[in-house]
Amino acid sequence: MESSAATGETPLGALIGRLAAAEAHRSAVTCGDVTRSRAELDARTNRLARAYRQLGVGQDSFVTIGLPNGIEFYEAALAVWKLGATPQPISSRLPAVERRAIIELANPSLVVGVDPAETPGRTTIPAGFEPDASGSTDPLPPAIASSFKAPTSGGSTGRPKLIVATQAAVWEALDGFATLLRIPHDGVHLVTGPLYHNGPLTTSLLALLKGNHVVVMPRFDAGTALAFIERYRVDWMYAVPTMMHRIWRLPEAERARFDLSSLRVVFHMAAPCPPWLKEAWIDWLGGECVLELYGGTEAQSFTVISGGEWLEHRGSVGRPVFGEMIVLDAEGRELPPGEVGEIWMRRGADAPPSYRYVGATAKTRPGNWESLGDMGWKDREGYVYLSDRETDMILVGGANVYPAEIESALDEHPNVRSSCVIGLPDEEYGNVVHAIVQPSAPITPEELEAFLVSRLVKYKRPRTYEFVAEPLRGDDGKVRRSALRAARIAEARRSD
């Protein structure tokens, strides 16, 4: 859809130009030794957008962005928005098999950051692409995509899915979320996580469009993150509990040598945070500095809780600040406070959906209720507490890992009869991937690891292997992952 002065909508692609007009030389994005000013970023993305248009990007088409963390990622996303198209980020480290599956699903008009040899028949440009220097850097006509993002997620069937936002690419649709997360105007924002993940992607782009200087880490490192906070006077940073754990495990003298007085918000999400770690950060930085969100990329509903509020409701992820959440039993009856059941969410009884899936179907109930498979309970004041997941999904350092995908890859090996993948508790990552394998011929963990390198990204590959003689699936073809996981956790506790 085209922007209209009459509606008062502000295209996301136009915001960097407005910021440049206000303060042209103010820093916009820094990665490594390179910094782009607002004016440079606007000019470069105007030229890049024109090059993308010549390559076939048009209104409401998807553009798959497979670039690593860096300035080039932001330039690609801004250029896409300026054409009224939708950024569709993927990991730059995916094996070719996974990457092709996502690209086939998205059917993008352009693929950015991938070797063109991998995508025959599709318009593709590699990382480092530079448009013709003679191209115009003048502003483009305003355009607004119907969807401002389309991140990907692995599916429980082992196939990927796209989560396509229904919010148009206008500032008015997103400003309230930025305010809720306390993202300031003209601050300094530290990007610690991979930009293909929804959390770092959305929060850092909101920060950029609010005039923040966005400092991007190519890869997370605990000591470097603290050094960047001091060097750039960072006031807002994103984290997942694994990052918080790594920072906290630094020697106290090293943590104490950095000046963190500029830091106003440490925002964490993506995985449950162990209470001891959360309390340590609250004691270290203060309760109002620590902010947590619970919800899915689907954004049917979400909770937010500050550290100070958490101390009064220890273990909670907060109360819904957008949409509704209820806890139901297996028969669909709402449970009283304190009883664990499945968490169901909705924007409202008659509210339009906040997303649409490509490659998956939502789990729904009458009344516009949807479930992401989380289990939990509510207290009498409406605070939500998470417990085990209903699904078999494994959270590894904030990343979703689906056993079916890994089992499918393992079972391709000629010496594997069957396999079962579970998550086992880990202090740093929350969970680690453990593979139980029934071999048909002798095989070693090293051979399986080598086999999986070309099929699965590193964080999805098993950390440990176990070989068994008995069948892992019943006559019905199903595997009882929960029982297998419980038995191994019980055995580990007995041996402690």
The model's pLDDT over 254-303, given as tens digits with 9 standing for 90+, comes to: 999 999 999 999 999 877 777 878 899 999 999 999 999 999 888 899 99
In angstroms, how far apart are the furthest CA atoms of the chain? 71
**Which of 5 and 469 is assigned the larger pLDDT?**
469
Q: Which amino acid is at 49?
A: A
Copy the structure tokens of residue 476: 């019905």
CA distance 53 to 214: 27
The CA distance from 130 to 252, in Å, is 45
Task: Dump the DSSP string for 266-318.
Answer: EEE-SSPPPHHHHHHHHHHH-GGGEEEEEE-TT-S-EEEEEHHHHHHSTT--B
Q: Which two tokens stand for residue 398?
A: 């904030």
pLDDT digits (tens, 9 = 90+) for 75-93: 999 999 999 999 999 988 8
Count CA within 13 A, CB hemisphere, residue 456: 26
Taking CA atoms, 67 is separated from 47, 112, 124, 212, 367, in Å, by 19, 7, 12, 22, 40
Q: How far are the Cα atoms of 18, 33, 35, 457 from residue 38, in angstroms, in the given order?
A: 9, 17, 10, 35
| Mean pLDDT, rounded, of the chain | 89
Give the C-alpha separation, 356 to 163, whole Å.
6
Count, in order, helices (H) and strands (E) of the chain: 14, 26
> Which two tokens mark 136?
């115009």
User: Is a pLDDT exceeding 60 seen at residue 157?
Assistant: no
Pairing of strands 213-216, 188-191: parallel
Rounded to an integer, what distance in angstroms lies between the CA atom of residue 351 and that of residue 67? 35
Proportion of the chain above pLDDT 90, given as a percent:
63
SS3 131: coil
Q: How far is 76 from 52, CA to CA, in rounded Å?
A: 9
pLDDT of residue 167: 93
Q: Which residue(s) pair with 324 in the sheet?
A: 346
**Burial of residue 31 (number of CB atoms within 10 Å: 0-12, 13-18, 19+):** buried
Rounded to two decimals, the pTM is 0.81
Q: Where do you find CATH 3.30.300.30 in the chain?
A: 394-495
- Mean pLDDT over 354-379 rounds to 89
pLDDT digits (tens, 9 = 90+) for 396-425: 877 777 787 788 788 888 888 788 998 888
- Residue whose tokens read 């270290």: 284
Tell me, letter by letter, the H, E, C secondary structure of 93-129.
Answer: CCCHHHHHHHHHHHCCCEEECCCHHHCCCCCEECCCC
What was the pLDDT predicted at 412?
82
Question: What's the pLDDT at 142?
Answer: 94
Smallest CA-to-CA distance from 231 within 23, 69, 73, 33 is with 33
Give yes or no for a contact between 60 and 164, defined as CB atoms under 8 angstroms apart.
Answer: no
pLDDT at 332 > cutoff 50: yes
CB under 8 Å to 116, separation ≥6 — which residues? 124, 125, 126
Q: Residue 402 in contact with residue 153, Cβ under 8 Å?
A: no
Sign of CA dihedral 355, 371, 409, 412: negative
Confidence band for 6, pLDDT divided at 50, 70 and 90: very low
- pLDDT (0 to 100) of residue 390: 57
Q: Quick count: other Cβ atoms within 10 Å of Cβ 414?
A: 8
Spell out a b/e string for 243-260, using b for 16 or more CB atoms within 10 Å of the CB, else e.
Answer: bbbbbbeeeeeebeebeb
Q: What are the b/e assignments for 188-204, b being 16+ CB within 10 Å?
A: bbbbbbbbbbbbbbbbb
The contacts of residue 342 (CB under 8 Å, 6+ apart) are 327, 328, 329, 330, 371, 373, 374, 375, 390
Alpha-carbon Rg for the chain, nearest whole angstrom, is 23
Contact in structure between 289 and 277 (CB atoms under 8 Å): no
The topology under which CATH files domain 12-384 is: Rossmann fold (3.40.50)
Copy the structure tokens of residue 451.
Answer: 């086999």
Residue ranges of the chain assigned to CATH 3.40.50.12780:
12-384
Residue 158 has pLDDT above 70, yes or no: no
pLDDT of residue 408: 76
As given in the structure block, the two tokens for residue 99 are: 């990457």
C-alpha span between 435 and 391 (Å, rounded): 17
Residue 240 confidence (pLDDT) above 90: no
DSSP summary character for residue 440? S
394-495 CATH fold: GMP Synthetase; Chain A, domain 3 (3.30.300)
The secondary structure of residue 191, as a DSSP letter, is: E
The tens digit of pLDDT for each residue in 168-222 reads 999 999 999 999 999 999 999 999 999 999 999 999 999 999 999 999 999 999 9
Distance CA 207, CA 467 (A): 48
